[in-house]
Homo-oligomer: A and B are copies of this chain.
Amino acid sequence: MKFFSFWRSLASFRVRIALNLKGLSPEVIDVDLMKGKQREDAYRKVNPQMLLPALVVDDGTVLFQSMAIMEYLDDVHPHPNLIPSEPLARARVRALSGIVASDSHPLIVPRVREYLEHDLKVDEAGRTKWIHNFLGAGTKALETNLASSKETGRYCQNDAITMADICLVSHAVGCNFFKYDLAPYPTVRRIVEACMQNEAFAKAHPLKQPGAPASV
């Protein structure tokens, strides 16, 4: 397998955690988003959508979209499972994941921040307000669900790590990148801290990847 990713990409981070949890070590190929490498021919041939990550499996098929890639990894490498087996639990894990991957992250990705800056001439303070607004809405939704559900345990869904934890951690790291304060969200913080004690999460952290700075 070949894993096209970049240290700063939060969607790549999600897949990197899943790969680590399952003990998979594909060849990693860097696509530097900060130099616009995702728009150059070499990567466009892999993923014409020019978004990260992409996972090329052994028959050459290119997988894209972090959620679809994690579900695929869970289908073909089911141990440990990232999606529980009971239907209502599966639905909750996928819904919590969706708060991150459909409602929050898409609003703060580079192409959106660039549109705000270059097309709408929104200054840095205005862009930060935008980012905090949508990261905040997502964080509140996560905290409300996690703090009130009897399904919540050491992790999002009881006491086993699931895709929801992966998404939650990527969200929390995004909040850190953009200095959105997580202090008012104790359940989110507690679960993120529990996850980060796991080596699969810790070594996947964006700032621990080759080429990453010491801080953002």
Q: Which residue in B72, B133, B141 is a CB contact (below 8 Å) of A87?
A: B72
State the interface size on chain A (CB cutoff 8 A): 46
Contact between chains at B129 and A119 (CB < 8 Å): yes
Per-position 1/0 for A52-74, Cβ under 8 A of B? 00000101010111011101100
A65-B102, A68-B98 known; A48-B145 Cβ under 8 A: yes
> In whole Å, how far is A36's beta carbon from the nearest beta carbon of chain B?
16
Separation of A92 and B69 alpha carbons in the complex (Å): 9
A115-B133, A120-B122 known; A72-B49 Cβ under 8 A: no
Q: Which residue in B61, B67, B120, B129 is a CB contact (below 8 Å) of A98?
A: B67
Q: Within 8 Å CB of A72, what residues of B?
A: 87-88, 90-91, 94
Contact between chains at A102 and B106 (CB < 8 Å): yes
Q: Which residue in B87, B107, B119, B126 is a CB contact (below 8 Å) of A106?
A: B107
Per-position 1/0 for A121-138, Cβ under 8 A of B? 010001001100100010
Q: Which residue in B71, B101, B111 is a CB contact (below 8 Å) of A91?
A: B71
Q: Within 8 Å CB of A133, what residues of B?
A: 115, 119
Q: Within 8 Å CB of A92, what residues of B?
A: 63, 68
Contact between chains at B68 and A95 (CB < 8 Å): yes
How many copies altogether? 2
Q: Within 8 Å CB of A88, what residues of B?
A: 57, 59, 61, 63, 72
Q: Within 8 Å CB of A188, what residues of B?
A: none
**A198, CB-defined interface residue at 8 Å:** no
A72-B90, A90-B75, A120-B126 known; A103-B51 Cβ under 8 A: yes
Separation of A103 and B13 alpha carbons in the complex (Å): 17
Contact between chains at A49 and B120 (CB < 8 Å): no
Known: A48-B141, A72-B94, A102-B106. 11 other contacts (CB 8 A): A49-B103, A49-B141, A63-B95, A65-B94, A68-B91, A68-B97, A71-B91, A75-B91, A106-B106, A119-B129, A120-B122
